[in-house]
């Protein structure tokens, strides 16, 4: 068992995956705060529809944040947890003063443009190292988020 973590995976490979998961975690945290802001600040004729939708988005992100952090712990490493680290590591940028629905939805799509490639990279890495737990998590996220991208794009296109 030398060189293996507590769940029987190679420690070095698990460290690489945990580091990538921490990067994903940082992006999710900023995305989460943006979605909260969209929910709080949305205005206009689509208020009721988007206010509820943005609440759904941030609740979903909050669940995934917890799952990612717990996966890092399962691999034997520590999830980052300081906002200064989230901001420094995240390619998703903080949104500020967004109150128009179309602008908020475009920001959500931009976040997915960052997150989906990270998840696909994690899918490849975890597949190469027999890390089924991370692989399954990423596969589920990707399937769900690709559908979300399609739906948000349809929302933007019809306006």
Q: What is the pLDDT of residues 64-98, one digit of tens each?
A: 999 999 999 999 999 999 999 999 999 999 999 99
Tell me if 137 is assigned to some domain.
yes
pLDDT of residue 2: 78
pLDDT of residue 158: 61
Tell me if 58 is assigned to some domain.
yes
Taking only the tens place, the pLDDT of each residue in 20-76 is 999 999 999 999 999 999 999 999 999 999 999 999 999 999 999 999 999 999 999
| Among 82, 36, 89, 96, residue whose Cα is nearest residue 60 | 36
Tell me if 128 is assigned to some domain.
yes
Tell me if 130 is assigned to some domain.
yes
pLDDT of residue 25: 98
Q: 154: how many CB neighbours lie within 10 A of its CB?
A: 9
Tell me if 4 is assigned to some domain.
no
Decide if pLDDT at 1 tops 90: no
Tell me if 1 is assigned to some domain.
no
Check which CATH number belongs to the domain holding 113 and give it.
Answer: 1.20.1260.10
**Cα–Cα distance between 85 and 59 in angstroms, integer?**
22
Tell me if 3 is assigned to some domain.
no
Q: Name residue 4's beta-bridge partners.
A: 10
Tell me if 6 is assigned to some domain.
no
Full residue range of the structural domain in which residue 102 is found:
11-157
Provide the domain count of the chain: 1
- 101 neighbors 44 (Cβ within 8 angstroms): yes
- 40 neighbors 104 (Cβ within 8 angstroms): no
Taking only the tens place, the pLDDT of each residue in 122-158 is 999 999 999 999 999 999 999 999 999 999 999 998 6
Q: Give, as one character, the DSSP assignment of residue 80.
A: -
Could you tell me the maximum CA-CA distance found in the chain, to the nearest angstrom? Answer: 61
CA triple 66-38-63, angle to 5 deg: 15
Q: What is the pTM of this model?
A: 0.96
**Cα–Cα distance between 49 and 151 in angstroms, integer?**
14
pLDDT of residue 34: 98
Average pLDDT over the chain, rounded to whole?
A: 96
**Cα–Cα distance between 10 and 19 in angstroms, integer?**
14
């Amino acid at each position: 068992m030398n060189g293996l973590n507590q769940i029987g995976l190679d420690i070095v490979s698990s460290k690489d995956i945990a580091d990538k998961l921490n990067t994903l975690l940082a992006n999710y945290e900023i995305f989460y705060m943006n979605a909260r802001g969209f929910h709080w600040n949305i205005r206009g004729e689509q208020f009721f529809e988007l206010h509820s939708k943005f609440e759904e988005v941030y609740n979903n992100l909050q669940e995934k944040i917890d799952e990612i952090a717990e996966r890092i712990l399962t691999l034997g490493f520590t999830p980052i947890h300081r906002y200064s680290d989230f901001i420094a590591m995240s390619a998703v940028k903080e949104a500020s003063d967004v109150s128009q629905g179309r602008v908020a939805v475009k920001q959500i799509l931009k976040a997915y443009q960052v997150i989906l490639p990270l998840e696909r990279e994690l899918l490849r890495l975890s597949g190469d190292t027999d890390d089924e737990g991370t692989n399954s998590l990423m596969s589920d996220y990707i399937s769900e988020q690709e559908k979300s991208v399609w739906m948000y794009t349809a929302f933007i296109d019809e306006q």
